[in-house]
Structure 1
Amino acid sequence: MSSTRLVTLLGTAVRQQRHLRELSQRQLATLADVSQAAVARIERGERAPSIPVLERLFVAMDLQLTVGVEPLDAHLDARIDDLAARPIDERIDALGLDRVLDQLADFPQVITGSTAALLQGAPVPVEALEIAVRWQDSKRFTRWLEAACGQRWNARWGEFGGLWLEPEEPGEHRWSTRYGEIRATMCDALPETIEVRHGGRGYRVVPLVELELTEPRAGELLRRYRKRQLTSGGRASSG
């Protein structure tokens, strides 16, 4: 876990607990004897809070901070194991992909990233529908996002909103829409695809071998999955 990720997790924990107690940032700051600006920076992940400040914030909400350790990215291994134990149709249904894809039916795009890997049987975590979109279709994509009440991911604030929708604008290509979350890889030409079928529906996806070469996030998850297969296979053989 990098220090940046830890700061983000701590900020998220403070914000979530504050919301659960229906406290404003100003109210929490008063209870914890810190400034509202400090609370805001901590919740946005812009400031690494000191232990005493964290303790005051949580005590003000009748909570206490606990510390634990785990192997690096152990949460990913646990997630992969959980997905591997579930039928692929169940994994697909849980994502609600069809709802989003039905709305994109007349829009030129193909499924890529972790979503394409999952549709090809790899039990990798999927946070959003991942698609490839041509730059020449970016204005059309923007109009679709506007109609779908899209909000752009703002990495600085750690939340959706506050940025222009247009893919041409700087920022991560990730949007929240009324139909679900979408990540887009903008490209000059759509990649070659294959068709996979589930539940009587066909999906045009980028092949696994191509994903490993072109999609860093999906490639890392696929390599991690194969490593776990080898590890579990070795344990089974030794047993």
Structure 2
Amino acid sequence: MPSTRLGTLLGNAVRQQRHLRELTQCELAESAGISQAAVARIESGSRAPSIAVLEALFAAMDVQMVVEVEPLDAHLDARIDELAARPITERIDELGLDRTLDRLTDFPQVITGSTAALLQGAPVPVDALEIALRWQDSKRFTGWLQANYGQRWNARWGEFGGVWLEPEEPGEHRWSTKWGEIRATMCDELPETIEVRHGGRDYRVVPLVELELTEPRAADLLRRYRARQLASGS
């Protein structure tokens, strides 16, 4: 069954509460009286759970659901408005961007995706460093991941780990590391970049106009931001 936004939100909530309590999927499943495979499918958003199953999962973690309604994607609009009011340097620090970049010195890369949009002033949500990386540097990147406790996103189980690190292996190009989450766009040659400067540091980023052509996730956020600007007369 394809993932839905609500299924993804519910799965994220279950996974977040489980992580806060340092429970494994097996431990939560046993407490809730369901299988570990069912927990994995719920957390990944690939299974729409019944209300009874959700209540059992949350009760096993001593919490309960609160249901509200809001205009479609109002949460995203509110997030964009909040980010627009904050300095870029503060958001860079919150992401730990400089800390991660200081350690990515084993191979060339450039900043792309929503991270590049952030550095060019767009108030779009960013939860990971997004880079463009050449296929020819894949082995060096894999070595870096191994040295920095990298784990690759496992879409089947809805969490990091349990799959091969190498970008050549099937799966989403998304890894957790000791320095934060990294998402990679693999390419034959690095895209053209511009330089932006914040807090005394220069960053090589893919320009916004190129992001809108090549990065669907960033493009959707940028279009939403611009639509809100037009609506407000900014």
TM-score normalised to the size of structure 1?
Answer: 0.86
Letter in 2 for 1:25: L
Alignment match, 2:84: 84
- What is the CA–CA distance in structure 1 between the aligned matches of 2:180 and 2:115, rounded to whole Å? 13
Deviations 1:2-29 (A, max 9, x none): 9623223223333444555677225422
**Alignment identity in percent?**
82
Q: Which runs of 5+ in 2 are unaligned?
A: none
C-alpha deviation, 1:152, in angstroms? 0.4
RMSD: 2.3
Which stretches in structure 1 are left out of the alignment for 5+ residues?
235-239
Task: Determine the C-alpha separation between the residues in 2 that align with 1:65 and 1:111.
Answer: 38
Deviation for aligned residue 1:226: 0.6
Q: Does 1:232 align with 2:229?
A: no
**Take 1:20 and 1:150, find their aligned partners in 2: how far apart are those partners?**
21
Give the 3 Å change call, closer, same or farther, for CA 70–174 of structure 1 in structure 2.
same
Q: Check the 8 A contact 2:116/2:206 in 1, yes or no.
A: yes
CA contact (8 A) 1:25 1:40 kept: no
**1:57-96 to 2 correspondences below 5 Å:** 57-59=57-59, 61=61, 63-96=63-96
Match of 2:107 in 1: 107
1:86-107 CA distances to partner (integer Å, 9 max, x unpaired)?
A: 1111111111111111111342
Change over 3 Å in CA distance of 1:14–1:189 after alignment to 2: closer
Q: Deviations over 1:148-191 (max 9, x none)?
A: 11110111111111111100011110111111111100001100
SS of residue in 2 equivalent to 1:132: strand
Say if 1:91 and 1:27 are closer, same or farther in 2 by CA, change over 3 A: same
Secondary structure of 1:229's aligned partner:
helix
Cα separation, 2, equivalents of 1:106 and 1:15: 33
Classify the secondary structure of the residue corresponding to 2:68.
coil
2:31 matched residue in structure 1:
28
Aligned ranges 1:170-209 → 2 under 5 Å: 170-209=170-209
Aligned to 1:7: 7
The offset of 1:144, in angstroms, is 1.1
The alignment status of 1:169 with 2:169, answered yes or no, reads yes
SS of the equivalent of 1:104 reads: coil
Secondary structure at the residue paired with 2:7?
A: helix
Work out which of the two has the higher radius of gyration on C-alpha atoms and give 1 or 2: 1
Q: Are the counterparts in 1 of residues 3 and 46 from structure 2 also a CA contact under 8 Å?
A: no
In 1, Cα distance between equivalents of 2:209 and 2:15: 40
Distance 1:28 1:20, change over 3 A: farther
Residue 102 of structure 2 aligns to a residue in which SS?
A: helix
Normalising by structure 2, report the TM-score.
Answer: 0.88
